[in-house]
């Protein structure tokens, strides 16, 4: 019942066209749906949030998600995926599977090495948007760069995953998806402990690289691995 009341209150406040600061103060939620609300009132009927995860790891893909939220069915406690506990993140992820329209895209370590991590991240975002089964009128992207392919139909928002509900939802779907993928890879390469570190350069991961070498899932262009290979 609290969830339903919150959704109805949000819808009611949006329809009243109250000042954004007033709505945010009444709802006391962050991230919120206020930017999407403004875009809807400006004539954009389908708005997608996009975020990526996996720029920093030494292994695994970079993963992006594009999400179109249902304004009347936004999960409670939606937030930047990095600020949520594993339990909360997984719970919201499962809710988003049923309440939103979404698509996921990966860019492989091999492609990352060819492109560089920035361009690979932007490509993952573009691919995620292209895989949506509906075409958004406008796209909200976490960060400070809009991929060229998305042109004038997108807006970049610094720290958008902590400000904008659609981007926060994308961050959760991208992170849970990538973390699960890394746990699957861990079963084939347990010495690197990817189930725990998701491919990030922990002490255990670095020691395993020095002892056992690299795998096809490692990013050869990343400095720690590049230095080992060239040493």
pLDDT at 20: 55
Rounded-to-integer distance, Cα 131 and Cα 194, Å: 27
Determine whether 187 is exposed, middle or buried from the number of CB atoms within 10 Å of its CB (0-12, 13-18, 19+): exposed
Average of per-residue pLDDT values in the chain: 90
Determine if residue 115 is left, alpha or beta; phi over 0 gives left, psi from -120 to 50 gives alpha, anything else beta. Answer: alpha
pLDDT at 9: 53
Rounded-to-integer distance, Cα 138 and Cα 36, Å: 9
Distances (CA, A) of 136 to 66, 148, 221: 10, 16, 34
pLDDT at 30: 73
Q: What is the pTM of this model?
A: 0.87
Distances (CA, A) of 198 to 74, 85, 184: 28, 15, 10
Q: Any idea what the Cα angle at residue 44 is, between residues 98 and 131, rounded to 5°?
A: 45
DSSP summary character for residue 75: P
The secondary structure of 180-223 as a DSSP string is HHHHHHHTT-GGG-HHHHTT---HHHHHHHHHH---TTB-TTSH
Rounded-to-integer distance, Cα 230 and Cα 132, Å: 41
More confident residue, 228 or 5: 228
39-57 residue pLDDT tens:
998 999 899 999 999 999 9
168-226 residue pLDDT tens:
999 999 999 999 999 999 999 999 999 999 999 999 999 999 999 999 999 999 999 99
Of the chain, the percentage scoring pLDDT greater than 70 comes to 87
CATH of the domain at 119: 3.30.420.10
Residue 219: domain span: 2-230
68-92 residue pLDDT tens:
999 989 998 899 899 999 999 999 9
103-143 residue pLDDT tens:
999 999 999 999 999 999 999 999 999 999 999 999 999 99
Query: How many structural domains is the chain composed of?
Result: 1
């Amino acid at each position: 019942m609290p969830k339903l009341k919150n959704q109805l209150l949000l819808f009611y406040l949006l329809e009243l066209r109250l000042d954004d600061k007033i709505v945010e103060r009444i709802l006391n939620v962050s991230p919120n749906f206020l930017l999407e609300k403004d875009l809807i009132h400006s004539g954009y009927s389908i708005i997608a949030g996009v975020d990526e995860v996996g720029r920093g790891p030494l292994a695994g893909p970079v993963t992006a998600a594009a999400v179109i939220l249902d304004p009347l069915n936004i999960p409670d406690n939606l937030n930047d995926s990095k600020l949520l506990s594993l339990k909360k993140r997984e719970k919201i992820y499962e809710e988003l599977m049923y309440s939103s329209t979404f698509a996921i895209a990966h860019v492989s370590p091999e492609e990352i090495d060819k492109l560089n991590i920035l361009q690979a991240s932007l490509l993952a975002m573009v691919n995620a948007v292209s895989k949506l089964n509906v075409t958004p009128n406008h796209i909200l992207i976490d960060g400070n760069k809009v991929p060229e392919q998305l042109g004038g139909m997108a807006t970049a928002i610094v720290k958008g995953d902590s400000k904008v509900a659609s981007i926060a939802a994308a961050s959760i779907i991208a992170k849970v998806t990538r973390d699960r993928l890394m746990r699957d890879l861990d079963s084939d390469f347990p010495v690197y402990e990817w189930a725990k570190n998701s491919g990030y350069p922990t002490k255990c991961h670095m020691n395993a690289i020095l002892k056992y070498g690299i795998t096809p899932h490692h990013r050869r262009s990343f400095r720690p691995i590049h230095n080992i290979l060239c040493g």
